[in-house]
Structure 1
Amino acid sequence: MSPMGAHESQIEAAAGDFAEYQELVLGRSPATVRSYHSDLVDLAGVIPTFAEFTLENLRAWLGEAAHRGLARSTLARRTASARAFSTWAVRHGHLERDVAVRLSTPAPKRHLPHVLSENQAREVLDAGDAAAGSREAGPEELRDAAILELLYATGIRVSELTGLDVDDVDLKSGTLRVTGKGDKQRTAPFGRPAAAALTAWLDRGRPRLIRPEKTGRAADRHAVFFGVRGGRITDRQVRRVVSAAVEAVGAGEASPHDLRHSAATHLLEGGADLREVQELLGHSSMQTTQIYTHVSTNRLRRVYQQAHPRA
């Protein structure tokens, strides 16, 4: 083991020897060695000695990093660094047992989705419908109103919306045939406001915006929504539509996925069953859908604290 510097902790000094071992003996790449060493220097700031190198302290180190919002890939790398170092330390007589062998990557702190209030969602949609309802409404205004109504009404993903073809829309029954992840298909219902906006777009807007010669692929000529250049609308264009509409009514920033979150949350708050919401959103796991129950609970708690005299 190399001599410790005046201000170098026991773990930090050993980290230098470990890095040399990784590079010279195991032939690790310079990038891997740098990552290992950087992680262990950070670790040494929390666990400076081998006496403090315990499973409990290692978990606390990783847990604090997860709480700060570090990426899961970074947490996984830190876990790998600590485990490799622990094994090396046992072989070189620094530790009696491999304390990090049971160390696992902590789950990062789960962030609740951004959800518009029902009033904010109503303002966004009403503004779009008003613009599209005027006699001077252009094809883009008709399209944008239909996009906003459909995203909120059905909770579909932006990729599912851009992938819609005309044959996927059944205005009579008020349903969409949606192709989700893994090419799984499901049926998504929509209400009268979305039907009205969609009808206006299909009848008066789409024929004026489509340019078949610029779609690139023959299949794209059947798309429900087109961009200003006449091809199938892109995810980025839809994000711009949503962002502009939400900012216009002073509701901050929002994405198409936020409208999906809002639709799911408002359904649950309105009494929908969790399993029904799961089916509507196309979630393969109930655990994914359950995040919205936490959102609803948090919103209820805020309302309670604001309104109840004994809160």
Structure 2
Amino acid sequence: MSNTQMVEAIEDFAEHQRLVLGRSEATIKGYKSDLLDLANKTESFKTFTLARLRSWLAAAVSEGKARSTLARRTAAAKAFSKWAVKQGYLDTDEAAKLSTPKVPKHLPKVLNEKEASTAMENAKSPDELHFLRDSAMLELLYATGMRVSELTGIDLGDIDSTRNTIRVLGKGNKERIVPFGDAANTALSKWLARRAEMAKDTNALFVGTRGGRIDQRQVRRVVEAASQVSPHALRHSAATHMLEGGADLRVVQELLGHSSLQTTQVYTHVTSERLKKVFNQAHPRA
């Protein structure tokens, strides 16, 4: 059985992550799940030691957990341990010496430009009104590389149609302004001309069938039906195509809302891999 004090502390820690640090719900959920698992194997804060943490991670290795899971568990334990010291639960930061397992970087799946272009015109909508909405969502996601959670949060007032820019609220409530091109502008104008026929929500740019703000699951279904890839892969595709078109890495970082340039750099590996593939197929002496 897990101890009550630690479980209560985990709840407080989750609230701190949410309200003070602005972590995403997905991150908080993952941390809580990991820490509650740890609490089940730790009698009290007295037994919250480096040795116990290492045996907890070793057990995960023997269970065949993925490296990404191990990395998240380590991050959760480190963040919780640091917080617990500040709150007076621990005298020393026990997890500070834990080493984070390196997670292998898998090259993200990307569409080529022709596939992306086809997907933009391939919304599998039940009627014309839904088609206009779905096409506008697809064009905007591909034009900006924004996340689905960011798309669903957009209000009408966030769009500047004279400058072709949109205000986006990203991770950690960080705001950024992203531009979009003529194709997205045209699709957006067509949707806005008829949005009132579907919308009950007065603020949301995109609404669901019942008229309220569209949810992320609906957007995912639209993207997957049109492109045969996930919205995350469409975001990868947008970033890759920007870099292949000559965009500066830091500009792409800003557009995507990455806090670290390291995150954006994975796309340079994608573009170099694709260049190699094209070279090997096309060059007579490859």
> Is TM-score (shorter-chain normalized) higher than 0.5?
yes
Q: Taking structure 1 as reference, are residues 105 and 278 closer, same or farther at Cα in structure 2, changes over 3 Å only?
A: closer
Partner secondary structure for residue 220 of structure 2: helix
Tell me if the contact between 1:153 and 1:191 (Cα under 8 Å) persists in the aligned partners: yes
RMSD: 3.4
Identify the residue that residue 207 of structure 1 maps to in structure 2: 196
Identify the residue that residue 226 of structure 2 maps to in structure 1: 245
Distance 2:117 2:57 in 1: 50
Aligned residue identity for 1:288: T
> What is the CA-CA distance between 1:166 and the residue it aligns to?
0.4
Identify the residue that residue 278 of structure 1 maps to in structure 2: 253
Identify the residue that residue 88 of structure 1 maps to in structure 2: none
Partner secondary structure for residue 137 of structure 2: helix
Aligned residue identity for 2:70: R
- 2:161 counterpart (154, 171, 175): 171
Identify the residue that residue 175 of structure 2 maps to in structure 1: 185
Query: Quick check: 1:139 aligned with 2:129?
Result: yes
> What is the CA-CA distance between 1:39 and the residue it aligns to?
4.1
Distance 1:137 1:115 in 2: 29
- 2:265 counterpart (290, 295, 300): 290
- 1:118 counterpart (104, 113, 116): 113
Query: Quick check: 1:155 aligned with 2:155?
Result: no
Identify the residue that residue 94 of structure 1 maps to in structure 2: none
What is the correspondence of 1:1-311 to structure 2 with a 5 Å cutoff?
A: 36=55, 39=58, 69=67, 71-73=69-71, 76=74, 104-128=99-123, 138-204=128-194, 206-212=195-201, 221-247=202-228, 254-311=229-286
Q: Taking structure 1 as reference, are residues 27 and 277 closer, same or farther at Cα in structure 2, changes over 3 Å only?
A: closer
Q: Taking structure 1 as reference, are residues 23 and 146 closer, same or farther at Cα in structure 2, changes over 3 Å only?
A: closer
Distance 2:255 2:60 in 1: 48
Partner secondary structure for residue 277 of structure 2: helix
Number of residue pairs the alignment of both structures matches: 223
Distance 1:70 1:187 in 2: 31
Distance 2:56 2:141 in 1: 47
Q: Taking structure 1 as reference, are residues 243 and 38 closer, same or farther at Cα in structure 2, changes over 3 Å only?
A: closer
> What is the CA-CA distance between 1:36 and the residue it aligns to?
4.0
Q: Taking structure 1 as reference, are residues 232 and 305 closer, same or farther at Cα in structure 2, changes over 3 Å only?
A: same
Higher RCO, 1 or 2 (CA under 8 Å, sep at least 6)?
2
Choose 1 or 2 for highest CA Rg. Answer: 1
Specify every segment of 5 or more residues in structure 1 that has no aligned partner in the other structure, as ranges. Answer: 1-21, 44-64, 81-101, 213-220, 248-253
Distance 1:276 1:172 in 2: 22
> What is the CA-CA distance between 1:138 and the residue it aligns to?
2.3
Aligned residue identity for 1:198: L
- Measured against aligned partners, the alpha-carbon deviations of 1:129-154 in whole angstroms (never above 9, x if no partner) come to xx89xxx9522111000000000001
Partner secondary structure for residue 176 of structure 2: strand
Distance 2:193 2:148 in 1: 23
Aligned residue identity for 2:69: A
Partner secondary structure for residue 222 of structure 1: coil
> What is the CA-CA distance between 1:126 and the residue it aligns to?
2.6
Distance 1:288 1:181 in 2: 14
Tell me if the contact between 1:175 and 1:190 (Cα under 8 Å) persists in the aligned partners: yes
Identify the residue that residue 15 of structure 2 maps to in structure 1: none
Partner secondary structure for residue 270 of structure 2: helix
Partner secondary structure for residue 166 of structure 2: strand
Tell me if the contact between 2:206 and 2:214 (Cα under 8 Å) persists in the aligned partners: yes
Distance 1:69 1:123 in 2: 36
Distance 1:41 1:264 in 2: 34
> What is the CA-CA distance between 1:302 and the residue it aligns to?
0.9
Distance 1:239 1:288 in 2: 23
Distance 1:70 1:179 in 2: 27
TM-score (ref. length: structure 1): 0.63
Tell me if the contact between 1:162 and 1:235 (Cα under 8 Å) persists in the aligned partners: yes
